[in-house]
Amino acid sequence: MTATLDELDGLIAGALRDSEIKYDRRGPGRYFLTLPGTKKLQTNCWLIVTDHALLVEAFVCRKPDEAFEDVYRFLLRRNARLYGVHYTLDDRGDIYLVGRIGLHAVTPDELDRLLGQVLEAADGDFNPLLEIGFAGAIRREWDWRVSRGESLANLSAFQHLVGSAGDKPAVADES
């Protein structure tokens, strides 16, 4: 027997509260969550109850600037190791995690597993996705910050992308 929308709303809201996940209820069966991370500071995620399934959708990062094939190869390989969700692209090429579970399978434990996988993937894959798809932008940002004496603290994970120069800006070849 499938639970009613009111019963599912109660179950979902209770599980989110128990997990101390920040959320806004945006109507019956619609929840907007903010999952805290370490590399990706937060992951915005929707839970939506439909007639037959609970849908989950989480934004991971915008369309890569470069190395599209390498990014897509990474995502396809990663899909094979994910539980309950998979990577996909929207019409603009932005990267999302999406999934669905049957309403009969919605339990607090299953929500915890599903949201745990969303957080692990979005947070754990964030830096590798940036390294592959935004290496040029990261180097330019590093150089810009160095040239102005700005902090490099939140770019420190990408220091290996700027080469042995470390904190020195790249100098254009003038010949």
pLDDT in tens, 95-113: 999 999 999 999 999 999 9
Q: Residues 24-48: what's their mean pLDDT?
A: 93
**Does one domain contain both 12 and 88?**
yes
Look at residue 84 and tell me if it is in a domain.
yes
Q: What's the rounded Cα separation, in Å, for the pair 41 and 159?
A: 19
**Does one domain contain both 122 and 158?**
no
**Does one domain contain both 149 and 112?**
no
**Does one domain contain both 109 and 150?**
no
**Does one domain contain both 43 and 73?**
yes
Give Rg (Cα) of the chain: 20
pLDDT at 169 over 80: no
Record the pTM: 0.84
Number of domains in the chain: 2
**Does one domain contain both 113 and 148?**
no
Look at residue 70 and tell me if it is in a domain.
yes
pLDDT tens, 102-155?
999 999 999 999 999 999 999 999 999 999 999 888 899 888 988 998 888 888
**Does one domain contain both 54 and 18?**
yes
**Does one domain contain both 68 and 149?**
no
Average pLDDT, the chain: 89
Look at residue 170 and tell me if it is in a domain.
no
Look at residue 49 and tell me if it is in a domain.
yes
**Does one domain contain both 78 and 118?**
yes
Q: Is the CB of residue 52 less than 8 Å from the CB of residue 102?
A: yes
Q: What's the rounded Cα separation, in Å, for the pair 17 and 22?
A: 8
The enclosing domain of 30 has a CATH number of: 3.30.1460.10
**Does one domain contain both 156 and 116?**
no
Look at residue 173 and tell me if it is in a domain.
no
Look at residue 171 and tell me if it is in a domain.
no
Please tell me the predicted confidence (pLDDT) of residue 141: 86
- Select the highest-mean-pLDDT range: 15-19, 48-52, 58-62, 157-161: 58-62
**Does one domain contain both 114 and 52?**
yes
Domain that holds residue 69: 5-133
Helix extents (H) in the chain: 5-18, 68-79, 108-133, 135-148
